[in-house]
Amino acid sequence: MDKTNTSSDRIFAKYWIETAFPLDDAAAIMAGEQSTGTFVRVPGETDELRERYAARVEHIVELGAVDSPSLAGSGLPKKHTGPVLRRTAEVTLSWPIENMGPSLPNLLSTVAGNLFELKPFSGLKLLDITLPPAFLSAYQGPQFGVEGTRRLTSVHGRPIIGTIIKPSVGQSPDQTAAQVKMLAEAGVDFIKDDELQADGPHCPFDERVPAVLRALNEHAERTGRRPMYAANVTGEIDQMLRRHDLVVASGGTCVMVSVNSVGLPAMTALRRHAQVAIHGHRNGWGMFSRSHATGMSFIAFQKFWRLAGIDHIHVNGLHNKFCEEDSSVIASACECLTPMFPAPHKGCEIMPVFSSGQSARQAPDTYKALGSMDLIYACGGGILAHPAGPAAGVRSLHQAWEAAAAGIPLAEYAKSHEELRSALEAFAA
């Protein structure tokens, strides 16, 4: 996308499309549907009005043709005869910000509203958005981001080593606190609730969180190290704000939210209220991403949530247990560390969270591809299932990242580092 346009007062959105319509017509239909349009031109729709408020087609880049439609239900141009040529293309549209004002919910309806269902398209995906800095007057963006998360965890010069409380559900508050104590003693920097652990009657938030944070407070007094605990506050708005306050009152430094489950306005409300970091969990993301032909890219998705105020977001991990390719994982993570607005505006960079089947083994590839130590590296089995115990699991991760930073192959570094050697044996590819 043409980044020179970001200083204007227009919003840009780039799409991948697949259509049997002439590309100019297809792009004009998208622009019409998402601004002034209806299927008949109505009396009030003057040329001046169209010039000022209609979405503009900025660029069309034709890509290859496809043999068959990716999605069912699309149509052909009215006067079409002969064989169907179904083209793909990248289309960039733009809107004046005055159409909706700097409002994330209304922006979403504009760039990702009805147009996915338009008849001419057998595929349409939102790839990227570029917003004018006017949005920074209405939204706060991340409060802690990369630097603030490092400050709160006192971890510098290496990734923040994280883990997840498992089993996801079923443990009592005291059992959870005992597991957290064990993980803190093992040297973990960051511990999160599972997204399925919320406020069930067997493990109420109001009992679990003070119990866990008491354990971490005692650990901090004893050792001087305070791991960050991301307490899952996902719920109704009043619940989230109240739970946030309990986290703060109990000495916590982070809350976790399932972003798709709460929506943008709830996140904005939480951010305005927040005194601690907001850990964004993207569960449900598959609905937007699993089809190549509909939904939106993570590049576009995470910009909404960064502006709304998250400090961390999950990006999956290399060689993960899900369907996502490694290249997509790395593109997502890189984007989190890329400014959304040009200097001197706030860039809204956030911490990418790598997780899903991670262990010492993926550290070198992750570092090589990301080119940064600014990440949360979350391991479940990669810590808990280490043959010599969780503390050895954490040490194996430190060693793996030391090796990655120094450009030394893991197998080589493992010769002089016992915990790494065991990890490589235990977590064979």
From the list 8, 60, 116, 220, which residue makes contact with a second copy (rule: CB under 8 A)? 116
In whole angstroms, the minimum distance from the beta carbon of 144 to a second copy comes to 21
Binding a second copy by CB under 8 A: which of 44, 83, 157, 407?
A: 44
Quick one: which of 218, 245, 325, 425 contacts a second copy (CB under 8 A)?
Answer: 325
Query: How many Å apart are CA 413 and CA 143, to the nearest integer?
Result: 38
Among the listed ranges 212-220, 243-251, 263-271, 338-346, the one in contact with a second copy (CB under 8 A) is 263-271
Quote the CA–CA distance of 253 and 403 in Å, as a whole number.
30
Question: Per CB under 8 A, which of residues 346..375 are in contact with a second copy?
Answer: 357
- In the window 225-254, what residues touch a second copy (CB under 8 A)? 234-238, 240
Give whichever of 114 and 416 is closer to a second copy, judged by the CB atom: 114
Out of 99, 366, 399, 422, the only residue in the binding site for a second copy (CB under 8 A) is 99
Q: Give residues 393-412 in contact with a second copy (rule: CB under 8 A).
A: none
Residue with tokens 């430094």: 253
**CA-CA distance, 103 to 118, in Å (whole number)?**
24
387 counts as binding a second copy under rule CB under 8 A: no
Contact between 118 and 83 under an 8 Å Cβ cutoff? The reply is: no
Q: Say if residue 96 is preceded by a cis peptide, omega within 30 of 0.
A: no
170 scored as a contact of a second copy (CB under 8 A): yes
Q: How far is the CB of 83 from a second copy (least distance, A)?
A: 21
List 201, 224, 344, 407, residue binding a second copy (CB under 8 A): 201
Residue 19 binds a second copy, judged by CB under 8 A: no
Q: Which stretch binds a second copy (CB under 8 A): 82-90, 106-114, 221-229, 415-423?
A: 106-114
- Cis preceding-peptide flag for 167 (omega within 30 of 0): yes
Other C-beta atoms lying within 10 Å of the C-beta of residue 83? 5
For residue 204, the 8-state DSSP code is -
Amino acid letter, 7: S
Q: Give the number of other Cβ atoms within 10 Å of residue 151's Cβ.
A: 13
* Angle, vertex CA 198, rays to CA 374 and CA 216, nearest 5: 55
Is residue 8 part of the contact set for a second copy (CB under 8 A)? no
179 counts as binding a second copy under rule CB under 8 A: yes
Q: Starting from the edge strand earliest in sequence, which strands make up the sheet with 10-19, in order?
A: 56-66, 86-96, 10-19, 121-130
- If one asks whether residue 141 binds a second copy (CB under 8 A), the answer comes out as no
Residues 363, 397 contacting (CB under 8 angstroms): yes
Nearer to a second copy, 109 or 416 (CB): 109
Site track for a second copy across 301-320, x = CB under 8 A: ---------------x----
Q: Which is nearer to a second copy, 32 or 153 (CB)?
A: 32
Q: Does 98 bind a second copy (CB under 8 A)?
A: yes
Give the largest Cα separation in the chain, rounded: 80
Please tell me the number of Cα atoms within 13 Å of 156 on its side-chain side: 5
Q: Which of 61, 65, 323, 411 binds a second copy (CB under 8 A)?
A: 323
- Judged by CB under 8 A, the residue of 142, 159, 380, 393 near a second copy is 380
User: Half-sphere exposure of 148 toward its Cβ, with a 13 Å CA cutoff?
Assistant: 18
423 binds a second copy (CB under 8 A): no
Nearest to 379 by CA among 352, 399, 355, 362: 355
Q: Is 381 in the site for a second copy (CB under 8 A)?
A: yes
Q: Rule CB under 8 A: choose which of 108, 127, 334, 391 binds a second copy.
A: 108
Return all residues near 414 (Cβ < 8 A) that are at least 6 apart.
399, 420, 421, 424
Question: Residue 331 in 3-state DSSP?
Answer: helix
- 2, 7, 49, 387: which one contacts a second copy (CB under 8 A)? 49
Q: How far is the CB of 53 from a second copy (least distance, A)?
A: 4
Q: Is residue 287 a contact residue for a second copy (CB under 8 A)?
A: yes
Describe the crossing of helices 104-111 and 264-273 by its angle, rounded to 10 degrees.
Answer: 160
What part of residues 54-83 is at the interface with a second copy (CB under 8 A)? 71-75
